Structure 1
């Protein structure tokens, strides 16, 4: 590969070779997908150092779990889910650390930071809180909803990725939206 961005076919080829145990291919793959992974993490975590931490965790997961990519869809679609999950895990960890460090709720903490405002749902933090609640109460809706409404993947690709019938995926997304909408409306 050259210094230009790898094509989806090149990334898929590197991933297949890495699954077969080619360490050089794995290193090339991780380097090729790092910018994409960081962008996904930045979509969830607006503070760059947090997004970089989540990106690093995602790349470690990719290296550890590359054998779980089933090769039915693009590697980058599988990577997307790994990156989103890593960013959400990083958010949970930071939230737990913040609560442990300062359990008081100051008024300044309740106002949304305009730098983190998202056109999708009030603030990204509001969306993450809603996804946390949805995951506790209805975990089957979280992944399809994030993949569709936050990352804009087509229904067909989501169905392949989560290994579910297209109608089921559409229903999960519809129900997930219905459950999340009131949580977002309550945001300040």
Structure 2
């Protein structure tokens, strides 16, 4: 691929064009598309999983999901908006899988270390991931609030982009984000 072709493939219009060609079965277009969006997908995953190897695993899962489910992109909005949602969901899935596989350390084996607060400490990377824990908690009873809230408050997408992506009226999206924030606030404060 020449420099001009690559630059064109990384513009929003170029990415949309590659995605349409990939949907039509063009394998070369799919490979170019995945290469063009990988840095973006990795950044999305890093926003959820700050430990680089975890983010890279989630990014790989996101790219596989994109390749396998490219036909589900409706073409209503930008492909990158759809890709954003797939990457967020892949990162959250990777986090859940790693959390479920984590084995707590034996406090007797290493001495008298205090156990970290699971609401604010990642079982994977030892970093603060209380937002993910809050989203997990909210999702149990109010799953409709989680995706719009993450897309708005973590990834900074506009209300209009979110409404287009999830296929809901703009007023509904704003209300879901407002209610999601109200539910998340006390969970993020911790037990101070």
> How much has 1:102 moved relative to structure 2?
2.1
TM-score (norm 1): 0.88
Hey, which bits of structure 1, 4+ residues long, moved more than 3 A?
103-106
- The residue aligned with 2:25 is 21
Cα gap change, 1:154 to 1:116, in 2 (>3 Å): farther
For residues 139-154 of structure 1, the aligned pairs below 5 Å read: 139-154=143-158
1:109 aligns with 2:109: no
Of 50, 60, 66, the match for 1:62: 66
> How much has 1:108 moved relative to structure 2?
4.6
1:36 aligns with 2:43: no
> How much has 1:176 moved relative to structure 2?
0.4
The answer for unaligned runs of 5 or more in structure 2 is 108-112
Matched positions, count: 179
The answer for unaligned runs of 5 or more in structure 1 is 118-122
Q: Give the superposed CA RMSD.
A: 2.1
Higher alpha-carbon Rg: 2
For residues 63-102 of structure 1, the aligned pairs below 5 Å read: 63-98=67-102, 101-102=103-104
Deviations 1:81-129 (A, max 9, x none): 000000000000111011xx2276862532857x987xxxxx3x10000
